[in-house]
């Protein structure tokens, strides 16, 4: 399409599909186009939650996570459809396939967004042309809209893609950061949630500009290394490369241990699995992942390796759930041979922010509540130490 040129300045695109689930449903059923519609965790239940909604619905004040009942009060004619995870996965794969026809430097971030490094296939000179071509191909071939941010790094590219939706293409240069980003409330910066905002407010930081100028010692004392990262990004600094292998590396998380003696007691083996489940859970949490395939590894005293796995409906990330599946697999398949090594791996992982896509329609709300509780417990334990809070009877 364009002549390949080598640029000395990195040029990164962030492609973000617009209202992805709703757009996929509209592409499959043209009758849903141009009308307020939403994908709901349980369309028949007024207490159900909206997973996403079309721009026609958003224009009426309807938003993701709103209850079905509330959305129906605002717009009685709102069309609701249940989520179809497999349909969205197929559409996502098709989008990434199109992107890889331009360059191999494509890093999927989630089901509906990706970073693309176009430094060596046109750079800044042809960035808008390349982005426009990508956007139009995805629209014409898949009937799906997207927005694209163009910048010298990942953080600014992701910020830029949010600036104009739907079907926007936005360039955000580092020199524009003081004028465009610094006046904004700090909560509007990617990577800053409500908890982080509160801690920043406590030290007098209310805008992105405040964060950019804060003393390094103070921000590190408040938020640790993440504080320094956020300060850099508030100044438009982000050195992370586009890594096509990153998504593959996130597909499984595991832990194993060689036992000090060849173990023959079931209870002792189960205790090892309990410890391994905690380690795997912490790694999943650290990486913001959950997975629905649990595999155990057993190595016997004569060095025979066995693996057994199970696929569960809802992705796991909590240690108790991981342990339960691993322990059941072990009890079903262990033949009593002395054990030398045990391991647990959780695979087929997805980012935690996609977790609701995999949840069955009937238990969506229950899991959504659990996720909020788990997030609160994690924050408390991070501040006061492990086991500082426990679930009541």
Q: Where are the alpha helices (DSSP H) in the chain?
A: 20-28, 55-58, 68-74, 85-99, 127-142, 154-161, 177-180, 194-202, 208-213, 216-223, 225-234, 246-249, 266-287, 319-333, 355-358, 364-384
To the question of whether residue 267 is assigned a binding role by annotation, the answer is no
Helices then strands, each counted (H, E), the chain:
16, 12
What does the CA dihedral 218, 223, 225, 228 come to, rounded to 10 degrees? -50
Is 301 buried (19+), middle (13-18) or exposed (0-12) by CB count in 10 A? middle
Q: Report how far residue 71's alpha carbon sits from residue 43's, in angstroms, rounded to the nearest whole number.
A: 11
- Structure tokens that stand for 316 in this block: 């796991």
Residue 113: active-site member: yes
Tallying the residues shown for the chain, one arrives at 393
Distance CA 130, CA 148 (A): 10
Tell the residue number behind the tokens 């790694």, with chain if given.
283
State yes or no: 16 annotated in a binding site: yes
Q: Which of 25, 56, 107, 113 is catalytic?
A: 113
CB atoms within 10 A of CB 84: 16
User: Active-site positions?
Assistant: 113
Residue list, annotated binding site: 16, 112
């Amino acid at each position: 399409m364009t002549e390949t040129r080598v640029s000395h300045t990195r040029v990164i695109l962030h492609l973000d599909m617009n209202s992805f689930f709703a757009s996929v449903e509209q592409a499959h059923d043209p009758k849903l186009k141009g009308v307020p519609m939403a994908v709901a965790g349980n369309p028949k239940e007024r207490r159900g939650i909206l997973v996403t909604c079309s721009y026609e619905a958003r224009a009426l004040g309807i938003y993701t996570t709103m209850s079905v009942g509330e959305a129906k009060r605002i717009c009685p004619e709102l069309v609701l459809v249940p989520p179809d995870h497999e349909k969205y996965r197929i559409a996502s794969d098709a989008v990434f396939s199109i992107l890889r026809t331009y360059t191999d430097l494509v890093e999927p971030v989630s089901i509906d967004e990706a970073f693309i490094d176009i430094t060596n296939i046109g750079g800044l000179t042809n960035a808008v042309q390349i982005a426009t071509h990508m956007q139009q191909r995805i629209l014409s071939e898949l009937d799906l809209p997207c927005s694209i941010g163009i910048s010298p790094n990942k953080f600014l590219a992701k910020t830029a893609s949010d600036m104009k939706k739907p079907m926007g293409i936005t360039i955000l240069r580092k020199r524009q950061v003081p004028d465009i980003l610094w006046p904004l409330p700090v909560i509007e910066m990617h990577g800053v949630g409500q908890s982080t905002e509160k801690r920043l407010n406590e030290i007098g930081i209310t805008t992105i500009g405040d964060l950019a100028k804060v003393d390094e010692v103070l921000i590190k004392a408040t938020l640790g290394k993440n504080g320094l990262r956020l300060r850099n990004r508030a100044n438009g600094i982000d050195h992370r490369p586009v890594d096509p292998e990153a998504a593959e590396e996130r597909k499984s998380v595991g832990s194993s241990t060689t036992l000090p003696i060849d173990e023959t007691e079931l209870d002792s083996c189960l205790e090892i699995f309990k410890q391994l489940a905690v380690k795997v859970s912490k790694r999943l949490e650290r990486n913001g992942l959950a997975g629905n395939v649990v595999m155990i590894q057993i190595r016997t005293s004569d060095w025979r390796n066995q693996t057994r796995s199970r696929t569960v409906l809802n992705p796991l990330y909590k240690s108790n759930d991981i342990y339960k599946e691993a322990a059941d697999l072990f009890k079903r398949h262990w033949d009593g041979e002395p054990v030398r090594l045990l391991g647990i791996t959780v695979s087929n992982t997805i980012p935690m922010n996609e977790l609701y896509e995999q949840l069955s329609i009937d238990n969506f709300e229950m899991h959504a509540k659990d996720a909020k509780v788990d997030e609160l417990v994690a924050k408390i334990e991070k501040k006061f130490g492990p086991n500082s809070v426990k679930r009541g009877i």
